[in-house]
Every structure is written in C-alpha cells, then in structure tokens.
Amino acid sequence: ELKMLPTDSKQRSGKEKQQKEKQSLPASSAQEGKSAAQLRAERRELQERQRAAKLQKQQEQKQAGGGKGGSKTSNPSNKAEAGSKKSAEQKQSAPIPTSADKKAQSSKLAPPGDTHQQQQAANKKKSPPPQQQQQPADSSVKSLPSFFRHLKPPMDAEQITSSVYNEQFAQSQIEAAFVQLSLMVAHEQLQGPAARCLGLARALRQLLCTVPVQDLPRLIKPKLDPNMRLLRSAKPPTVLESYLEQRLANWVQSAGSSAENSDHWLVDRMNEFVIEQIEKARVTMRASLKSKINNLDCIMLYKPSSLIFECLEDIVSEGTKMPDVRIILLDSPPSWEGQAFLRRLQGHRLLSKCPVRYAMLSAAPSLLSDTSKLVLEGQALTANGNVLAPVGTAYLANVAWSHRIPCLVLCHACQTWDQVLIDSVSYNELGRVSSDSQLCNIQYDLTPGDLVTALITERGVLPCTGSPVPSH
C-alpha cells in the first residue's frame, strides 16, 4: 500500500471524505464514464441554483459590511455572469463567507469553500467555456515583488473543476483519482519530496486498471495526456514525478508484443519503481543519516518530513547504546510545518529520549552555538550543483555556514534534475496564503552548493559537486 504523507490530519480526513464522494461516482470504465459526466452535470445544475440563492445573501452581506479594504475590488456579483475576469473578482469576494464558514464548520467534511467554489464553477457553464488559466485578480498580483510576477498564482478547486469540465467538453476523460490528486496538490496537502510522486503513482495505478492490457501501448498515451495536463496545471511537476513519467514512457515503448506480458505488467513495473526508488531508498538514506549522528549531538531541523521522523525513531530504538540526541526544531509561517511535526511528536516515546526545542527561523543564529549539525531535505539537485529545497532552507544553510556548522541535505538520487539554476527567482512556485494575508509566499529556494556540506542519497554521501552533468 502506498503511503501518503499527511500534513494536517484534519484536512486530510476532509479530503478523504471528498475522495469517497468522488469515488461513489462510477468512473472506472469508458461505458460508465458518460453517465458520470451526466451525473456531474446534473449535480452542477442543482448547485448552481443553490449558489444563486447564496450569492444574493452574499451581496446583501457585502453591502452591509462594506467590503474588505481598498485593495480588493468588490463588484456586485450580478455582473459576474459574463467574462472570466469578473468571475475572478467574484472569487475574491468569496473569501469572506468562506473563512467564516471554515471557522464555524471546521469539524465538517471537505472545506465548504471548495463546494462553494465548485458552485461558482458550475455557474460558468452558462458562459462559453472559459480559458483554462484564469486571470488573477489585481490585488494578488500587486502584492508580489516585481521579479516574482512571472509566477502563476496557485490554482483553486474552482479552477481545477472548470478544467475538468473543459476536458470533458472536449470529450476526453479524466480519472477521479487524478482530479483528487490535483486538488490535493493545489491545496498543498502533500508535503515532503516523495509525497507527490507517490500520489501520482497511485493515480496512475487506477488509470491503468481501466485500460485493457492488449490495448495498452496504443491507448495509454491518449488516456494519460489529459490527466497529466490537469495535474500539471495545478502545479508544475516535481523532479520525481517527471522521472516517473519518463520511466513510464520508456516501459511502454520497450514493451514488445503484449502477448508475452502478464496482465498487470505495467502496474507491476510501477510498483517495483516505487519500492526501489522511493521506499528502499528511504531506508538506505535513514541508515546513512543515522551513521552521521553521534552521541550528544544537537540536531537542528527545518521543515522535517516523515523521513527524518523515521530516522529519529531508528536512533531512539537502538537500545542501550543509543546516542543522546537533542533536537532544535525551526519553524516559519505561513505553513508552520514545525508545529505539525510537534503534533506528531506529542505523546511519542521519542520525547523521553530526545528533548525538543522549538523556535522561529529568525532565532536560528542565536541557537547555533548549541548545534552540532543541521539536517535539511532537498527537493531537487540542479545540474550545476545547487539544491532546490523548501523556502528558508537557503537562509538557514547560509546562517549555519557562517557559524561553521555542517549542513546535511537528504535527497533521493533520482531527484537530480537537468535544469540549471543560479537563483531562486527564475524557477519557483507561488504558495497558498490565507485570503486575508498580504504575504507573498514562495515555495522553493535555491541553496548554493558550497553552503551544503554533504548530500545524503541512497547511492552514498556526496558533495554537491557530485551532481551528474547532463550530456548535451
């Protein structure tokens, strides 16, 4: 069974319930696919009617409340029927009831905001099919520094469902699993380097089950393309995802005659990939990291994922010879991953052996006098030897370097990338922020290779200059 790496358990349970909702629609074969589309259309009409009523209420609320400050334009939503720009502004006016809804009904299933935005997507059915990429509303672009304005703002559930609608209008079929995955990716539910790749593998499995084996080499590409388009429009692919896609294409190409292969040969190949490249690699990396941690070490962590958590568990379960290790956990808004990690640690037996200190990233320099080493996780290794990692990693690596603290970065070997990057600006992703926050949130930053002491991969412990150079 593939493991999804959860961040916030509450949100995850909400998404699982949404998944069950979607899976209740039969979407597994071409025959029943049409009925799924019909069902969806009917559901949308119903939601549309409900939505119109809700909009009326909203409008009254808005006019009473006076809107949310000068930067967000609040056009009365009557004019919202025509044109995608107006509907984008409407999306901006949605946050008021959405956030209120979220506070009131936090225990309910899938965040009401999503349903609300789906209703808005349903409303667009009246207008001619809108473009796949919505124009961002003015206020969100303005709050970005100018050099980040080439980045696409993050997609909403509404935009994803409208993309789904477009694809179906063009008569290509989108798997429910891919829709769910795109939603999770767009809402940043999947944290950690391997999580998105595992999600993709799982979605691919479901897709492959729908294609009869003898037609596989012929049908796989046209089936896969619309799904991957949807996923890519949510967020650009991570290195691991691109690698998986590439391998898939290779397998299909080198398949040979289908009579020789077993029924599920492609699914088997994919499972093998996941086990070899991701799960076994994790085990090896954990062992390498453990060997680098000595007795009485104080380890500084920033945005740790389950990989580091498992490694700590390994260390602690060593027995009587286990090293006496302390942890400093750093955190930064708006994602507060450090607090999520603390919640995992809560009540865990790790705590009795490993005392934890928590601080904001800004306090890092004052804590470095206590630290022995810094352990970080990388997203990708660029072809020129820099490390792409969650934002804040470069800041921390620089601070540690000035204080002569070794910095270890965990990275899968297949996370090497053929792109060449020298700063964090040319390639990046915009992250989500809450609607009332003016924060500009970037997902990644680039750590120069000379700030990293060692790269821990499953193939060994390397310097950053050990990245493979692509042959041109």
Partner 1 sequence: MQQQQQPAAKELHSNQLAMQVVRRLSKRLQKRQQAESGATAADLIQMVRREAVACAGRDPVDAVSQNACRRVLKILREEAVHSLGASAQLLSSLQNNLFSERPIDYSQVKADSLRDAVSAAIKELSLELETSLDDLRSHGAAHIGENEVVLTLGYSHSVARVLQTAAATRKFQVIVCDSGPNFSGSRMLQLLKTVPQIDASLITDAHAFAVMSRVHRCLLSAQTVFADGGLRAECGTHGLLLAAKRHSVPVLVCTPAHKLAPAYHSVERANVYLNPACLLEENLSFAEVHCPKYDLVPPGLVTLFVTNLGGLAPAHLHRCLAEQYHQDDYSIDAGEADGDAGVLDD
Residues in touch with partner 1 (CB under 8 A): 71, 143-147, 329, 331-334, 339, 342-343, 345-346, 351, 355-367, 391-392, 394-396, 398-399, 402, 423-425, 428, 438-442, 444-446
Smallest separation (angstroms) from partner 1 to the CB of 469: 24
In Å, how far are 60, 331, 361, 398 from 365, measured between CA atoms? 51, 14, 9, 10
Smallest separation (angstroms) from partner 1 to the CB of 298: 12
φ, ψ of residue 400 in degrees (nearest 5): -65, -40
In this complex, which beta carbon is closest to partner 1, that of residue 114 or of residue 337? 337
Give the pair of three-digit tokens for residue 399: 């601070």
Smallest separation (angstroms) from partner 1 to the CB of 337: 11
Length of the chain: 472
Smallest separation (angstroms) from partner 1 to the CB of 388: 11
CA distance 325 to 292: 12
Give the pair of three-digit tokens for residue 165: 């609608």
In this complex, which beta carbon is closest to partner 1, that of residue 265 or of residue 395? 395
In this complex, which beta carbon is closest to partner 1, that of residue 446 or of residue 454? 446
The DSSP result for 63-128, as a single string, is HHHT-S-TTS----GGGGGS-HHHHHHHHHHTHHHHHHHHHHTTTSSS-HHHHHHHHHHHHTTSSS
In this complex, which beta carbon is closest to partner 1, that of residue 69 or of residue 256? 69
Smallest separation (angstroms) from partner 1 to the CB of 448: 8
Smallest separation (angstroms) from partner 1 to the CB of 402: 5
- The b/e string for 352-363 (b: 16+ C-beta within 10 A; e otherwise) is ebbeeeeeebee
Smallest separation (angstroms) from partner 1 to the CB of 451: 9
Run of H or E residues at 375: strand 373-377
In this complex, which beta carbon is closest to partner 1, that of residue 252 or of residue 356? 356
In this complex, which beta carbon is closest to partner 1, that of residue 333 or of residue 463? 333
Three-state SS at 399? helix
Smallest separation (angstroms) from partner 1 to the CB of 398: 6
In this complex, which beta carbon is closest to partner 1, that of residue 161 or of residue 441? 441
CA distance 376 to 310: 14
Three-state SS at 355? coil
φ, ψ of residue 291 in degrees (nearest 5): -70, -20
In this complex, which beta carbon is closest to partner 1, that of residue 232 or of residue 348? 348
Burial of 85 (0-12, 13-18, 19+ CB in 10 A): middle
Smallest separation (angstroms) from partner 1 to the CB of 121: 30
In this complex, which beta carbon is closest to partner 1, that of residue 164 or of residue 300? 300
Smallest separation (angstroms) from partner 1 to the CB of 71: 8
- The answer to whether residues 349 and 316 touch, using CB atoms and an 8 Å cutoff, is yes
Q: Under 8 Å CB-to-CB from 245, ≥6 apart: which residues? A: 200, 228, 237
Run of H or E residues at 374: strand 373-377
The count of C-alpha atoms lying within 13 angstroms of the C-alpha of 423, restricted to the half-sphere facing its C-beta, is 4
In this complex, which beta carbon is closest to partner 1, that of residue 18 or of residue 441? 441
